[in-house]
């Protein structure tokens, strides 16, 4: 227990020491998205009958920030450790692959939720959404952060340099995040693109999280919960397996 808790504490300190970059900067980015899209599309886009477009944006931006920063925490830590040679000190410690997993993914959840709370605290000044089902909010936030943290472990183990990590983030994480319904309801899309959106697990995280605020969603929250839970288990199993065999971190 002490081993993984120490690594967890070290990983939390790692991003907290540069909190202006890892927490404040993502909050500012989300606020800029809200100001730009809210100003341009408020009054022109009506998503749900009783909900303004700005209020609709807030949960999406919060969840987007949670997902992106959870992924960035684990992936950047592993890549930096491999490139700088500091990962060998973690390898020397008597830690099991489960200890690695819980420490890295746990710290990514902390960072994701910290950024998400910051985004919500600032954006709620512009439009305060309801809390129709708070348990769903917490559930999808934690599950989404955990899944992206585990995905970050996979990407961090696979990447051997920063260019590869940037490619993974730019060509996988960013498109799946932006095409998940953060800025729009998939009901406004053509049938073809609605079907494509249903193949994106990020969509179910966003939609289920938004249901917790408004009590309405594009698909059933139970369906979203089942898909997100399944995706979390699959990604976590892959991450644990790669850690167990020491993929690209052991000679």
On the question of pLDDT at 251 being above 60, the answer is no
> In the structure, what pLDDT confidence band is assigned to residue 28 with cuts at 50, 70 and 90?
very high
Of 5-19, 46-60, 89-103, the range with the lowest mean pLDDT is: 46-60
User: 99: pLDDT confidence band, cut at 50, 70 and 90?
Assistant: very high
Cα separation, 147 vs 112, in Å, equals 11
Is residue 101 over pLDDT 90?
Answer: yes
Cβ neighbourhood burial of 147 (10 Å; 0-12, 13-18, 19+): buried
d(CA 132, CA 142): 18
> Which candidate, 112, 126, 109, places its Cα nearest to that of 31?
126
Assess whether pLDDT exceeds 70 at residue 43.
no
Task: Give CA–CA dist 94/70, Å, rounded.
Answer: 26
Local confidence band at 45 (pLDDT 50, 70, 90 cut-offs): low
Confidence of residue 179 (pLDDT cuts 50, 70, 90): confident
Residue 50: pLDDT band by 50, 70, 90 thresholds? confident
* More confident site: 201 or 86: 201
Could you give phi then psi for residue 229, rounded to 5 degrees?
-65, -40
Mean pLDDT of the chain: 90
Look at residue 48 and tell me whether its pLDDT is greater than 80. Answer: no
Q: How confident is the model at residue 39 (pLDDT cuts 50, 70, 90)?
A: confident
Residue 46 predicted with pLDDT over 70 = no
pLDDT score of 216 more than 90: no
Average pLDDT over residues 31-52: 76
Cβ contacts of 74 within 8 Å, gap of 6 or more: 104, 105, 107, 108, 149, 150, 152, 153, 156
The per-residue pLDDT for range 114-139, each reduced to its tens digit, is: 999 999 999 988 887 788 899 999 99
């Amino acid at each position: 227990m002490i081993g993984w808790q120490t690594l967890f504490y070290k990983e939390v300190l790692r991003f907290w020491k540069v909190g202006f970059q890892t927490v404040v900067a993502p909050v500012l980015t989300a606020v800029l998205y809200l100001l730009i899209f809210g100003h341009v599309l408020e009054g022109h886009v009506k998503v749900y009958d009783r909900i303004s477009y700005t209020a609709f944006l807030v949960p999406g931006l919060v969840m987007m920030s949670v997902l992106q920063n959870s992924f960035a925490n684990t992936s950047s830590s592993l890549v930096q450790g491999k490139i700088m040679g500091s990962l060998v000190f973690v390898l020397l410690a008597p830690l099991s692959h489960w200890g690695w997993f819980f420490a890295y993914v746990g710290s990514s959840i902390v960072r994701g939720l910290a950024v998400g709370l910051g985004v919500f605290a600032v954006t709620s000044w512009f439009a305060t959404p309801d809390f129709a089902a708070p348990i769903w909010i917490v559930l999808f936030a934690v599950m989404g952060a955990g899944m992206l943290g585990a995905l970050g472990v996979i990407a961090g183990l696979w990447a051997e340099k920063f260019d590869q990590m940037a490619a993974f983030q730019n060509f996988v994480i960013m498109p799946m995040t932006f095409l998940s319904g953060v800025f729009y309801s998939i009901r406004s899309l053509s049938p073809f693109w609605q079907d494509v959106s249903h193949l994106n697990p990020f969509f179910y995280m966003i939609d289920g999280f938004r249901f917790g605020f408004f009590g309405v969603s594009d698909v059933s929250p139970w369906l979203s919960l089942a898909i997100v839970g399944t995706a979390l288990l699959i990604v976590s199993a892959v991450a644990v397996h790669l850690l167990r065999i020491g993929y690209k971190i052991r000679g």
